[in-house]
Chains A and B, each alone.
Chain A
């Protein structure tokens, strides 16, 4: 089944070597954006070219790969990247968070706690947290170098002035290892506390912007805030409609054009695991309902 025309995991060995060097440097300087020579990948920018390159560079034959897209294992992006590596590297794939050794993710951190030895690879669209306030790359690099992060608080100030609270709900800026301010990719801020002191290695790849950064295991990650407006997580105030979970991050799903909606776990593996254990939500035991709609 494996096409012999490809090198293991698609990229050639010299490219992987270059990316690994960038990864090593990124791990050595937590939160610092390391430039790398991003390659063209057989997918468009914005579909995870950065994450795919990082995954390709770290994947070994014994690895077990899981790919999630907004927490879900069964959306187009997740399925096609999983297939891509099954085909080009022949590695085992899984949807189970606990069984995976490498997890490539777009915009979520799995609900189940990650363990030592796992690597979480994030797909990052815009790695620079200061970008929307300071468009000059030369200037933002200088600000990182000198640790001038007053501007980051300007964004949070604007939120409070406009909405009365810190309304940034994803890509919420964090300070890594008490030094670099980092954009945790557009994960919901609900996931920010999971980054702190995480047992797994976290790698971030931005393909279009050609940057790699990292959080080594057990590194401090602090969400920025004000003394009088502390950081808070956000979660829809409802249990999951399928598994009844009251602690997971929820997606809002519109079910018809009359305003009906339901909330379900964004992490499909977590939700299915709970359902297998017998947990039930308000919508789970009613398959006949759909027939009635039809």
Chain B
């Protein structure tokens, strides 16, 4: 079993090959290739309009690519082209083996139903039919993301911004996904809340051995969370490498500009 797992970890979980997306004449994203391995956290950084979000949508099969392909290693170990999955399979993947953390928690949560039901929804979607077990699982996940379990029956619209974001993370992780997509997960939160959230995410990612693709314009997020960084500009990946390497010794002029634009603490 351990041997099998070790073998699996040597193979990429997600592979992008010459990925491109054009909106009419506008190339939002072009010729992106990389492989993501199990347990690896990849940050995609760049200024707004550089194609980060388009790339994330392509990778998570929410957009069909104009060129190239994305393949994913399913739980049975077979590498599959996402474009060739049926809609039912794709949606199943999306709510079991994947997580997607939106920048705006209102997009990823059902704001009018309780926190417990928000966390439990994915479990019910895969056939859990025992209220007590669903609730236990929901409350243990609330604990893990540091939300007071007394608030399990409150709707997320009564939650603060930071709590909403943590709830969204719990909702995504409850089915034990292997890959999580995050789109500016700390955007719109104040600095102390950001720090707490980042700390939590870093712990969860390492505890659960999650692979993650984090889109961010904040280099501090990239430095704290990710193992590798991809820098995007004008739809191209202009630089890629280990996080510390890229951020400490940027080669491309644009990356140098990005790094130097961080305000000294």
By a beta-carbon cutoff of 8 Å, the part of chain A in contact with chain B is 133, 142, 146, 148, 150-151, 153-154, 157-158, 160-162, 226-229
Contacts and interface: CB of A to CB of B under 8 A. Distances in A.
A146 B116 CA distance: 25
B121 A227 contact: no
Contacts of A161: 114, 116-117, 135, 152-153
B129 A150 contact: no
A148 B126 CA distance: 9
A161 B134 CA distance: 11
Contact of A228 (B117, B121, B122, B131): B131
B131 A226 contact: yes
A228 B91 contact: no
Contacts, number: 53
A151 B130 contact: no
Given A148-B91, A158-B117, A226-B131, A153 B124 contact: yes
6 contacts: A151-B125, A153-B129, A154-B117, A157-B124, A157-B134, A226-B129
Interface string B80-120: 00000001100100000000000000000010011011001
B117 A150 contact: no
B113 A158 contact: yes
Interface of B: 87-88, 91, 110, 113-114, 116-117, 120-126, 129-132, 134-135, 152-153
Contacts of B134: 157
B116 A150 contact: no
Given A146-B91, A161-B117, A154 B129 contact: no
B151 to A, nearest CB: 12
Contacts of A227: 129-131
Report which residue of A133, A154, A229 has the largest number of chain B beta carbons within 10 angstroms of its beta carbon: A154
B124 A146 contact: no
Given A226-B130, A227-B129, A229-B131, A151 B114 contact: no
A157 B91 contact: no
Contacts of B88: 146
A153 B130 CA distance: 10
A133 B125 CA distance: 14
A162 B114 CA distance: 9
Given A133-B110, A150-B121, A154-B110, A228 B132 contact: yes
Contacts of A148: 91, 125
Contacts of B132: 228
A148 B87 CA distance: 12
A133 B153 contact: no
Nearest to A132: B112
Contacts of B120: 154, 157
A53 B87 CA distance: 36
Nearest to A152: B124
A121 to B, nearest CB: 33
Contacts of B135: 161
A174 to B, nearest CB: 15
